Structure 1
C-alpha cells in the first residue's frame, strides 16, 4: 500500500506540470493572434494606385515596413501629428491619415507590407498586406486591331498564388458584362463585332473581388436590318448609317492595309420584291477621303468630325429610295467586311379618302409594305375628340365617322423601347348638306366659266324678229351682254333661254 501511494504522489506533480505547459501554449497563441492579426490579400496590376488601410488607428504610433516588421521602414506617424516618409520612396508613397498610398505601383512593390501599431500599456498590433499582381492581357500588341474572324486570345493569371484557404477564381467578362464560361482565365475565340470594347479579368476570393480591364478593338462584319423610314407626305431627310465600331479609329483601320471602300444599292420594287440589279453608288478614295459618285441618287457623305463615319445622307427621301444599301471595306489580304441597311418607307393611307362625309366607314392602314419583325410594334395616336373605332394590328376601322374624328391620326413604329419613325394623316369630316352646297357651288362656277369662255354673237333687231317669227321654234339660247362700264372686274355673261 505504501508503494502504491508513493506512485500516486509522484504522478500528481507531473500532471500539474503538463497542465501548466498547456496553459502557457494557449496564452502564447492568444498573444501571437492579438499582435500579428489577420493577413490581407490585395490584387492589383502595374500602374494602379493601391491604398493599404490599417485595421485601427487608435494607437499612438504607426509604422509601415516592407517585407516584414524588421524590414526597411517606409513611413511613420504619431498621435501628435508627426510623420515621415523614406526619402527613397517619396515619389511613390504618401500617407492619408494612417493609410499608406502607393501611387503607380511597379514590379518592386508587389509583395508583403507590414503595418505595426504601438501604444503604451498595450501589445503591438501587426497586420500583413500581401499585394499580388494580376496579369491580364491580349495576346497581341494592345493597339492591334482585329478583323472579323481573327482569333481573339486573352489570358489572365496571378504572378503567384496566395497562401489562402480557398484559391481565388479567375474568369473574363465580355464587353456586354457576361461571364465567359469555363475559361479559367483564358479566352480563345473567333472575333466578332460583339467582342469589340472593354473586357474585364475578374479575380475573386472569399473576401474581395478585383477587376482588370483590357481594351479590345474589332472591326466586325455585321448585318444591320433596320427600318429607317420617312413619311412620304413630308419628304423628310434620311441617313443611311455606316460607321466603324465604337473605340476603333481610322488610323487603326489603315494599319490593316485598307484597300477599297464602296457603297452599292439594290432597289426594292413596288411589288415588294428585291431587284436583281445592283447599282454602284460611290467609290471611296481611302487616302483623300473623297467620294467618286456612280449612281449617287442625291446622296452624299455625312458631315462628321469622325473619320471612321462613312454614313450617307440625303435631304429629301422618296419611295424610290427603298431597298438594300451595302457599305463594304476590302483589305489587301482579301478580306471584305460589309454593313447592310434595309431601308423601308412607312406609309399611312385612308379609304375612301382624307375628306370624309359624316356617317361613312373609314379604314386607316399603316404599313411598310412588308411584314414587321417580331420585335417591332405599331402604335396609333388619335385626335382627343375621337372615341369610336376598332383597332387591328396594322389598321384602324371607324364604323361611322363623326365630327370628332377630324384631325391628325398618327402611327408609330417602336423597337425595344425606341421610336423608329412615324407617319401622320389629316382627316376632314363634313355633313351631307355641306358637301351638297359645295358641289352646287363648284357646278355653278363651272357653268359660268364655260359661258365666259364661249364666243358671243352680236344680236341686232332683225335677228331678234327673225328669231321671234319662226313658226314653233325650239327653245334657243340668246346672249345679252351687259352694258359696257368701266370696272376692274371682268363682266359676267348671263345665259337665258327663250321659247315661243
Structure 2
C-alpha cells in the first residue's frame, strides 16, 4: 500500500513538470516519426492520443489494465502504431503535419507536439563531378513560429558551415552525407542527405614492380558504389601508355570501352588484364617486364563534356649481373639492382637474405660487389625495394657458381686429351702406311732382269 502511494506521489510530481509542455518536431515527407510519451505513467487511468488540424480527432487510447485501441478510419489505420505509450507515424504525408496531444483522461493535456514539415534537397540531384556547382537547401515550415537556427555539417566534419545562396563548387572531399542541423532552443534535429561526387581517389602516383612480381595499375572511382549511377552518363573509357625508354613520347592507346555499345573491353595489347568494370578499371599482369616502365593513364569521358583522368607511373626493379649468372669460383661479380633512374629519398634497396656484411655495396645499396665468388654464393639472390618497414617490390635471380676444376671441366680436358692422343695415333698410322707403300713400290721397280739402255734404237 505504501509503495502504491509513493508511486502515485511520484507520478503527480512528474505531471506537474510536464503538463502543458510543448515540443516542436521536424519531419520529412515519407519518413517515420515517433512521438515519445513523456513519462512512464504507471499506475494510470486512460491515456489518449489526439490530432488537431481543422478539428480534434482521437487517434488511440490505453488503460492500466493493458487494453488499447487505435483508430480504424482510413488512412490512419495503415500509418499508426503504438510502441509502449508512444505513438509511431509511418511514412508521413502532407496531411499528417499539425498538432498532436498526449492526454491523461480526455481533458488533461500532458504534452503538445507540433509536427512541422522540413524539406532537404540537393541541386542538382544527379551525380556531381569535381568543379560542378551544388546548392543545398534545408527549409522549415515554422508557420509563424520563431525561425530555428539552421546550419550544415560537411561529410566527416563537425564544423558548422553556413552555405551561401549561390551554392558551392564541389570537390572530391564533398562526397558523402551532409547533415542539416535544425536547432530549436536546446534541442537539435539532424537530417542527412547524400551527395555523390565521383572522382579518382588520390592513390600513389608511382607503382613499383619487377620481372618476378605482379604488375598492377590501380584505377578505381570513388565512391565505389556509384558505378550503376554514373554508367548512363559515360560516353567512353580510355586507357593509354607512354613508354619511359621510347624516343617517341606520344601516348599509345591500350584500349577503349563504351558502356552503351559493349559490356567488356578486350585488353589485347601487351597481354594486360582489367580487374572489373564495376567502377574498378585497374590493369594488371602476372609478371612485370622491363618495357612496362612508363606512364599509364585512364580517362573517363562523360557525355556532358567533362573528363576524369588518373595517371600511374610504373617503375620496374631489375637485377643486372656482370659478367653473368654462371660464374667460376674466384671470379669477380657485380650485381646492379636498379629501377633505371634515381631513387626517391624515402625508398631504399636491400639485399636479402645473404650476409651482406661480407660484401661491399655502392651507390645507395644499388650495386653489390663480390670480389671473389665462392660456391656458397650460388642460389637465389633477392633485392628488395623498401619504404620504411614495408616491401614495395622485389627482384630475384639465381646464380650458378662452378668450382675451378669442375666435373665438366675435367670431362672437357680429358676429352681434349683423348682427341689429341687419337689424332697422334691416327697420324702415326697414316705415316707408317705411307712409308710401306713407298718401299713396296721401290722393290717392284728393281725386279727387271734385262733393263734396256736409254736412247733410240732401230727396230
Give the structure-1-normalised TM-score: 0.64
Matches within 5 A, 1:49-448: 49-59=32-42, 60=44, 61-67=46-52, 71-88=56-73, 89-117=76-104, 126-140=110-124, 142=125, 144-160=126-142, 167-174=148-155, 177-179=156-158, 182-184=161-163, 188-204=167-183, 207-220=186-199, 224-232=203-211, 234-243=212-221, 245-250=223-228, 252-254=230-232, 256=233, 258-269=234-245, 276-289=249-262, 296-304=269-277, 306=278, 308-347=279-318, 369-372=341-344, 383=353, 395=365, 411=384, 413=386, 421-423=392-394, 425=396, 438-441=403-406, 443-448=409-414
Distance in 2 between residues matched to 1:450 and 1:276, nearest whole Å: 55
Distance in 2 between residues matched to 1:332 and 1:212, nearest whole Å: 33
How far has the Cα of 1:128 moved from its partner? 2.3
Distance in 2 between residues matched to 1:463 and 1:75, nearest whole Å: 131
Equivalent pair of 2:321/2:336 in contact (CA under 8 Å) = yes
Q: Residues 317 and 426 of structure 1: is their aligned pair in 2 closer, same or farther, counting only changes over 3 Å? A: closer
Q: Residues 292 and 167 of structure 1: is their aligned pair in 2 closer, same or farther, counting only changes over 3 Å? A: closer
Q: Residues 277 and 57 of structure 1: is their aligned pair in 2 closer, same or farther, counting only changes over 3 Å? A: same
Equivalent pair of 1:238/1:313 in contact (CA under 8 Å) = yes
Partner secondary structure for residue 297 of structure 1: helix
Q: Residues 404 and 464 of structure 1: is their aligned pair in 2 closer, same or farther, counting only changes over 3 Å? A: closer
Distance in 2 between residues matched to 1:92 and 1:185, nearest whole Å: 38
Partner secondary structure for residue 90 of structure 1: helix
How far has the Cα of 1:244 moved from its partner? 6.5
- Deviation digits for residues 292-333 of structure 1, max 9, x if unmatched? 8798222244455x2x44433334321211211122233455
Equivalent pair of 2:267/2:274 in contact (CA under 8 Å) = no
Distance in 1 between residues matched to 2:428 and 2:319, nearest whole Å: 66
Partner secondary structure for residue 316 of structure 1: coil
Gap regions ≥5 residues in structure 1: 1-29, 430-434, 467-500
Partner secondary structure for residue 147 of structure 1: coil
Distance in 2 between residues matched to 1:346 and 1:78, nearest whole Å: 80
More deviation, 59-68/239-248? 239-248
Distance in 2 between residues matched to 1:171 and 1:391, nearest whole Å: 59
How far has the Cα of 1:253 moved from its partner? 3.9
Distance in 2 between residues matched to 1:173 and 1:183, nearest whole Å: 10
Q: Residues 58 and 350 of structure 1: is their aligned pair in 2 closer, same or farther, counting only changes over 3 Å? A: farther
- Deviation digits for residues 201-232 of structure 1, max 9, x if unmatched? 23345644433222233344777553333232
Partner secondary structure for residue 228 of structure 1: strand
Distance in 2 between residues matched to 1:189 and 1:250, nearest whole Å: 26
Partner secondary structure for residue 444 of structure 1: helix
Equivalent pair of 1:170/1:202 in contact (CA under 8 Å) = yes
Equivalent pair of 1:378/1:393 in contact (CA under 8 Å) = no
Matches within 5 A, 1:20-39: 33-34=16-17, 36-39=19-22
Equivalent pair of 2:220/2:280 in contact (CA under 8 Å) = yes
Equivalent pair of 1:133/1:159 in contact (CA under 8 Å) = yes
Distance in 2 between residues matched to 1:31 and 1:223, nearest whole Å: 57
Distance in 2 between residues matched to 1:311 and 1:397, nearest whole Å: 33
Equivalent pair of 2:220/2:282 in contact (CA under 8 Å) = yes
Partner secondary structure for residue 202 of structure 1: strand
Distance in 2 between residues matched to 1:118 and 1:216, nearest whole Å: 47
Q: Residues 43 and 185 of structure 1: is their aligned pair in 2 closer, same or farther, counting only changes over 3 Å? A: farther
Distance in 1 between residues matched to 2:424 and 2:121, nearest whole Å: 105
Equivalent pair of 2:217/2:296 in contact (CA under 8 Å) = no
Q: Which residue of 2 aligns with 1:477?
A: none
Q: Residues 333 and 207 of structure 1: is their aligned pair in 2 closer, same or farther, counting only changes over 3 Å? A: closer
Q: Residues 296 and 392 of structure 1: is their aligned pair in 2 closer, same or farther, counting only changes over 3 Å? A: same
Q: Residues 385 and 106 of structure 1: is their aligned pair in 2 closer, same or farther, counting only changes over 3 Å? A: farther
- Deviation digits for residues 1-51 of structure 1, max 9, x if unmatched? xxxxxxxxxxxxxxxxxxxxxxxxxxxxx9995462543333332222222
Distance in 2 between residues matched to 1:108 and 1:186, nearest whole Å: 30
